[in-house]
Structure 1
């Protein structure tokens, strides 16, 4: 009996030792991968941390970024289309300021006037500075509007750089009747309608002068004066002297 009891105790010890060894080894065995829901943005998944078998998405991937710029463009298409329409209109206005035919150029001239004479054709709105060998330097000009045309021959009696302007009394009264009040004096400068240079014609109130309205060149627009672009009147100013003959036809 004693022998049987000892055998049973020995078998129990062996089983206990085997069980303990197996449990200790299981602690380091590979675990099967954890299976999670495909929805990795679920709150309970995000709380798993770095659990084995789980790959967390970045915050940028989980939280889709907003795109306010795209929504702005879609929400306000009229503003975008309006800007697209207005830009060409501005470019058209700039191109329409002056016809290229009125830009300075060398042309043939067969008039009887001698070189150095200024000839102004008020029907075609051209000013010619007669040169040698049947040539002339031609500029586009603005001339007298209907009722203010004139013709004649004068000499340049004075030259002014950025001249001041004193509108004659009849002009002031005429414009006041239209509701437009002119100053009695305006210093020279960019806002002055006489522009950058003025060539005074004899003892008259007429001048060849620049303008702050270059888009009027080529038209019948003045009260009798001869308008030129500022860059053109500067060029002419340097080419002629006091005493130069001016023929207006």
Structure 2
């Protein structure tokens, strides 16, 4: 990690606070408290209507006016596959289909070769109930997603092929809040 990445990652923590300083969720309906979305304060200068993923704390924020944000616990890309940068929501899909990328198949053929023709949308699909597709100007679809999962044990961990994931109930909530073209920032990791 270079100095620039360390500074950028530290800036993300300054915008949204440390994990310990965040408001604690109250459990209901048997859902783990850290899976529940929680409204938190941000600095007043944080722009509203943006998504920010802070990988060191496994948190995703949807910023709102007045120095507020909805905070969601997320799973992120595993080491070497998490791609920090600025993106925008170029597409949104309910119960999206999924096809592993060629890079995924080459990296782990035992896991992904069987799905090379794709998996239709539905409860057993790896993208879950909803997906926000991340694009970049000049690049188009990056094949990175913010999506749901029916595997809650992957939340709070770096296990994906680069995407950020929320439990299905929370991606449904987030999906309704986030319009197309919203800015998305995947902040760099500061922890090694």
| Same-fold call, TM cutoff 0.5 | yes
Comparing both chains, which one has the higher relative contact order based on Cα–Cα distances under 8 Å and sequence gaps of 6 or more? 2
- 2:44·2:66 contact (CA, 8 Å) conserved in 1? no
Deviation at 1:102, TM superposition (A): 3.5
User: Does structure 1 conserve the Cα–Cα contact (< 8 Å) formed by 2:37 and 2:70?
Assistant: yes
**Going by fraction, where is strand more abundant, 1 or 2?**
2
Larger Rg: 1
Q: Distance in 2 between matches of 1:98 and 1:153?
A: 31
Residue 24 of structure 1: aligned partner: none
Unaligned runs of 5+ in 1: 1-96
Q: CA RMSD in A?
A: 1.6
2:94 aligned with 1:156: no
Distance 1:100 1:151 in 2: 27
Normalising by structure 2, report the TM-score: 0.74
Q: 1:183 pairs with 110, 115, 137, which one?
A: 115
Q: Which runs of 5+ in 2 are unaligned?
A: 1-29, 136-140, 188-192
Q: Under a length normalisation based on structure 1, what TM-score does the superposition of the two structures give?
A: 0.58
- 1:166 paired residue number: 99
Please give the secondary structure, in 1, of the residue aligned with 2:79.
Answer: coil
Shift of 1:99: 4.9
Structure number with the higher helix fraction is 1
The list of structure 1 runs, each at least 4 consecutive aligned residues, that deviate by more than 3 angstroms after superposition, is none
- How many pairs does the alignment contain? 151
**In the TM superposition, what are the counterparts of 1:54-203 in structure 2 within 5 Å?**
99-110=32-43, 112-176=45-109, 179-180=110-111, 181-184=113-116, 185-202=118-135, 203=141
For residue 212 of structure 1, what is the aligned residue in structure 2? 150
State the distance in 2 between where 1:238 and 1:155 align.
16
Say whether the 8 Å CA contact 2:46–2:67 is kept in structure 1.
no
